């Protein structure tokens, strides 16, 4: 069993911890938290060993009646690998701690690309992280993850001449009360490209991609407007078939009446997904269109959860534990990735579109 420590138990960390606990070849060494808030209490209720991320604050946990298993250094010493899910910039500072104990580490997309030996996406470049000289991997951001998953099968099957993506980004996560905008629409940034295109190139170096970002007053998900000029000219149906064969791409059937991110989240909760998570890219099936060699589509990305399967695969890749196909299949099965299966053979029985309020 791979002993996994999770440093940081917030939006991403708590999801990674749950995912690690669900794996047949992993055990959760523990989680580290900076303060004794409701998330720390939740970790203890789940039976996760809790460590103080900042040793000087250990007394705060004791004062709050929360038992600690030790300090973060203790967790790093005993773990086979650390998944660092701390806020942007903190992971870079933590790297020295992981190197001190020769513990491989997985960092998140909020860090600069040069903080790790490789940037990682399971579908696109899994084998790079298996190299003996690689001790740290950076799981790229939610948006870069979504774009890499989409572009890789297109490149493999048709070739890509040029990609142009406008990212309509949520202002903040549901729990981020300090984020915004509240009543505004912001070019983010006003210059081109946004950071997403160059970040995709850390995964797929040769793809030609331009990205623009817009920030809106929403918390649920990101939305991508995608235009890809392919080297070949497949039909829209052929592209749909290609994308639907990818386990982490979900083609949203038109017949479901899911016409926005709000209904996507409602759908996830109704299907019993933990926290209403959507680990897959959600691509509106009827938006997939071809004009000559130009592909157009809309996809939505759940910023809180699409990187979770990638972190699990990164653990196996970094330790050279399994090959890509085996790891992704195990991760997908244990988490329940793959919404396409809900509609196999029953497309005529889904809820029809409504002409008015339900």
For the chain, which residues make up each domain, given as ranges?
2-140+307-335, 142-306
Asked if residue 272 belongs to a known ligand binding site, the reply is: no
Q: Which residues pair with 116 in a beta bridge?
A: none
Asked if residue 209 belongs to a known ligand binding site, the reply is: no
Whether the per-residue pLDDT at 45 is higher than 80: the answer is yes
Q: What is the mean pLDDT of the chain?
A: 93
**Confidence band for 358, pLDDT divided at 50, 70 and 90:** very low
- Main-chain dihedrals φ then ψ at residue 45, nearest 5 degrees: -60, -30
Asked if residue 7 belongs to a known ligand binding site, the reply is: no
- Distance, in Å, from the CA atom of 331 to the CA atom of 309, rounded to the nearest integer, reads 6
Residue 355 burial (C-beta neighbours within 10 Å; 0-12, 13-18, 19+):
exposed
Active site residue 282: no
pLDDT one-digit tens code per residue, 62-112: 999 999 999 999 999 999 999 999 999 999 999 999 999 999 999 999 999
Does the predicted TM-score (pTM) go above 0.85?
A: yes
The CATH number of domain 2-140+307-335, selected from 3.90.700.10, 3.40.50.720, 2.40.110.10, 1.10.10.10: 3.40.50.720
pLDDT one-digit tens code per residue, 113-139: 999 999 999 999 999 999 999 999 999
- Confidence (pLDDT) at 344: 60
Asked if residue 281 belongs to a known ligand binding site, the reply is: no
The CATH number of domain 142-306, selected from 3.40.630.30, 3.30.360.10, 3.30.830.10, 1.10.10.10: 3.30.360.10
Asked if residue 3 belongs to a known ligand binding site, the reply is: no
- Confidence (pLDDT) at 16: 98
Q: Where are the alpha helices (DSSP H) in the chain?
A: 11-21, 38-45, 58-63, 72-78, 90-100, 122-125, 142-157, 196-201, 236-244, 261-270, 308-318, 324-335
Active-site hit among 43, 105, 142, 147:
142
Say if CB 74 and CB 51 are below 8 A apart.
Answer: yes
Q: Enter the tokens of residue 165.
A: 């993506």
pLDDT one-digit tens code per residue, 206-264: 999 999 999 999 888 999 999 999 999 999 999 999 999 999 999 999 999 999 999 99
Residue 294 burial (C-beta neighbours within 10 Å; 0-12, 13-18, 19+):
middle
- Reduced to 3 states (helix: H, G, I; strand: E, B; else coil), residue 169 is strand
pLDDT one-digit tens code per residue, 186-213: 999 999 999 999 999 999 999 999 999 9
Asked if residue 219 belongs to a known ligand binding site, the reply is: no
Report which secondary-structure segment, H or E, holds 136: strand 136-139
Q: Where are the alpha helices (DSSP H) in 132-220?
A: 142-157, 196-201
Asked if residue 110 belongs to a known ligand binding site, the reply is: yes
- Distance, in Å, from the CA atom of 127 to the CA atom of 116, rounded to the nearest integer, reads 15
pLDDT one-digit tens code per residue, 13-22: 999 999 999 9
Mean pLDDT to the nearest integer, 4-25: 98
pLDDT one-digit tens code per residue, 323-352: 999 999 999 999 999 987 676 644 433 333
> Of 324, 316, 280, nearest to 124 (Cα)?
324
- Confidence (pLDDT) at 354: 40
């Amino acid at each position: 069993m791979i002993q996994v420590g999770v440093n940081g138990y917030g939006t991403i960390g708590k999801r990674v911890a749950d995912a690690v606990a669900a794996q047949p070849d992993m055990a959760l060494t523990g989680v580290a938290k900076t303060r004794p808030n409701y998330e720390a209490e939740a970790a203890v209720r789940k039976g996760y060993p809790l460590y103080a991320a900042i040793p000087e604050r250990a007394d705060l946990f004791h004062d709050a009646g929360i038992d600690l298993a030790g300090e973060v250094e203790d967790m790093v010493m005993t773990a086979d690998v650390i998944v660092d899910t701390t806020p942007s910039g903190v992971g870079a500072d933590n790297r020295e701690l992981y190197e001190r104990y020769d513990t491989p580490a997985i960092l998140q997309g909020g860090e600069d690309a040069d903080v790790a030996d490789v940037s990682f996406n399971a579908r696109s470049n899994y084998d790079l992280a298996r190299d003996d000289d690689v001790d740290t991997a950076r799981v790229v951001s939610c948006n870069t993850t979504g774009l890499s998953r989409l572009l890789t099968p297109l490149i493999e099957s048709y070739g890509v001449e040029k990609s142009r993506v406008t990212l309509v980004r949520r202002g903040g996560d549901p729990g981020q009360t300090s984020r915004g905008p509240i009543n505004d629409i912001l070019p983010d940034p006003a210059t081109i490209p946004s950071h997403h295109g160059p970040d995709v190139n850390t995964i797929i170096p040769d793809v030609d991609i331009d990205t623009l970002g817009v920030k809106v007053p929403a918390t649920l998900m990101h939305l991508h407007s995608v235009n890809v000029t392919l080297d070949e000219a497949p039909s829209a149906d052929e592209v749909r078939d290609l994308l639907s064969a990818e386990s982490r791409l979900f083609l949203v059937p038109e017949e479901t009446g899911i016409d926005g991110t709000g209904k996507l989240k409602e759908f996830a909760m109704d299907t019993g997904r933990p926290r209403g998570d959507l680990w897959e890219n959600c691509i509106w099936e009827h938006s997939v269109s071809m004009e000559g060699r130009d592909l157009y589509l809309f996809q939505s990305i759940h910023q809180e959860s699409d990187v979770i399967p990638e972190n699990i695969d990164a653990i196996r890749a970094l330790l050279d534990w399994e090959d890509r196909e085996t790891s992704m299949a195990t991760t997908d099965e244990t988490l329940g990735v793959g919404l396409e299966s809900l509609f196999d053979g029953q497309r005529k029985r889904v809820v029809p579109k409504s002409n008015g309020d339900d």
